[in-house]
Amino acid sequence: MEDKQIISKNPFGLNITLPKKTLQEVQKVAQQEIGNISVNPFLEYFKENDKVFSGQVAKEIRKYQSQIYTLGQVMREGKSSSSFNINM
């Protein structure tokens, strides 16, 4: 006997057809959910973090880094160099 292979026109999983009623229900639910989406959380997020987006936070970070570097330089220059000598 010969083995016959059945070759589908569509790849596996794409040959499924949905009933028209199911598609209508999906469209109805999608439209309701899109209508319920609120933009307010996004606007609040941008208002709260305005300093980050405007670059003020980066400016403050650079300012503090500069202060730390300058303080370190002053401390290194003021440090006395001591040597350890043992006279015998």
Q: What is the mean pLDDT of the chain?
A: 78
What is the model's pTM? 0.41
Asked if residue 23 is part of any domain, the answer here is no
pLDDT in tens, 41-72: 888 888 888 888 888 999 999 999 999 999 98
Give the range of the structural domain holding residue 48, as residue numbers without chain letter.
38-76
pLDDT over 70 percentage in the chain: 72
pLDDT over 90 percentage in the chain: 18
CA distance 41 to 63: 32
Residue 1 confidence (pLDDT) above 50: no
Other CB atoms within 10 Å distance of the CB of residue 57? 13
Asked if residue 22 is part of any domain, the answer here is no
Count structural domains, the chain.
Answer: 1
